[in-house]
Chains A and B, each alone.
Chain A
Amino acid sequence: KAGVTQTPRYLIKTRGQQVTLSCSPISGHRSVSWYQQTPGQGLQFLFEYFSETQRNKGNFPGRFSGRQFSNSRSEMNVSTLELGDSALYLCASSPGTLGGRLSLEQYFGPGTRLTVT
């Protein structure tokens, strides 16, 4: 089974611009979560989508938004980029359920390295 894929892998943007990152989950996985990883703060939860609905949201400003499509693919958008948004953005997918029971294991994609100049 193919893993989680993220595009693009690397991105350089200028302050004030906006950016859209894409994530394709493992086939059959219905839950997609997004995380930000920085050297100072570590891995921080952004939001989770399940069946096209945002189910959980982390403590990030409204400039960070996301959505999920009917095929479970997800995008996240960051508007009005700031220097501090430079980070590795990771997408993780989870089955939601497996064989009728709750399956919460999350599998990460390779990430998108965003640099804001």
Chain B
Amino acid sequence: QKEVEQNSGPLSVPEGAIASLNCTYSDRVSQSFFWYRQYSGKSPELIMSIYSNGDKEDGRFTAQLNKASQYVSLLIRDSQPSDSATYLCAVGTALIFGKGTTLSVSS
């Protein structure tokens, strides 16, 4: 059974801090990895995709992938209260989702 694991949180950070979200996956042959943000009552919104080992940066977001360790992470720099949401890690093409990490950014 393919699994994606995330710490459910909540992860609480002060405004302006770096939030670090982590994800591990079980299927060693996975090639595509995604981070989604979901606000309460809304559908998931794609933040980042990453396919190769290393870092990928987009604005305040950095995704990091380590296929050998089967580990994906998302860093959010200069966290804002509007970043407070559930962050979902997804793996594969028929996406396997983690249960999500709830992030709370306090002003």
Interface positions of A (Cβ within 8 A of B): 33, 35, 42-45, 48, 56, 58, 88, 90, 92, 104-111
Contact = CB atoms under 8 A, between A and B. Distances in A.
Interface residues of B, number: 19
Contacts of B100: 42
B49 A43 contact: no
Contacts of A92: 95
Contacts of B94: 33, 45, 48, 56, 58
Interface of B: 32, 34, 36, 42-46, 49, 88, 90, 93-100
Given A43-B88, A105-B34, A110 B95 contact: no
A105 B99 contact: no
Contact of B34 (A35, A42, A106): A106
Contacts of B90: 43
B46 A106 contact: yes
A109 B45 CA distance: 9
Contacts of A105: 34, 46, 49
Given A90-B43, A111-B43, A104 B49 contact: yes
B98 A42 contact: yes
